[in-house]
Amino acid sequence: MKKLLLIAILLVSTTIQAQKSKVLEGDWKNLKGISAYNLEFEYENLEIPKYDSEEDFLKDKMAKREEKEPGAGERFKKAWFADREEHYEPKFAESFNKRWDDKEVVVGRDMASADYTMKIQTTFLYPGYNVGVMRQNSKVDAIISVYKNDAPDTILFSVKYTKAEGNAAFGNDYDSGVRVGEAYAKMAKTFAKELSKKAK
């Protein structure tokens, strides 16, 4: 049990260190005083390793599953897109919000009270895998941009995160949606930490 716990801690530490951020536009201080953000997610032109496009990735994965079991390919495609609302997006929001003890800053979908939008544009996604004896973390790159709702063309701040890796505790992440969701959670954690320190 102690060995498993140590491995889990090492995995988490490695994940946090591997993740990198680069400010693309504006300054962290531009976000000072903003207490609520409406979340928006974008997945257009998503890069997936070893494939020319997300469409090519889906065609390949669907065909392989369809060969083994009729209907499995379509189920895979449906789950691939459903994972966004079921895992990725709620994990990001949950992870971000729990970093603020007094709810000084909150994010959420369809927040009518928020004057600002936080847009998470995913640019790269590797779902990873877990087949029991072998596994690989998921990896996500994304650009987080902030703008006022009535001025979407004026970006107040934009930062790119690379190598946000996802894995569930003790390797219990056989579902790709769970693995990728954890990558979004780690990205949100890093963003929230940087925001609390630098937006002063």
**List of residues 6+ apart from 71 with CB closer than 8 A:** none
Q: What phi and psi values does residue 123 have, to the nearest 5 degrees?
A: -110, -25
Question: What is the percent of the chain where pLDDT is above 90?
Answer: 79
For range 113-139, the mean pLDDT:
93
Largest CA distance in the chain: 56
Name the strand (E) or helix (H) holding 83. helix 72-83
Q: Which residues pair with 47 in a beta bridge?
A: 124
pLDDT of 29 over the 90 cut: yes
CATH 3.40.50 for domain 2-54+82-198: yes
- pLDDT at res. 6: 40
Provide the pLDDT confidence category of residue 73 given band limits of 50, 70 and 90.
very high
Domain range summary for the chain, segments of one domain joined by +? 2-54+82-198
Provide the pLDDT confidence category of residue 169 given band limits of 50, 70 and 90.
confident
Look up residue 176 and give its amino acid: S
Report field, pTM of the whole predicted structure over 0.85: yes
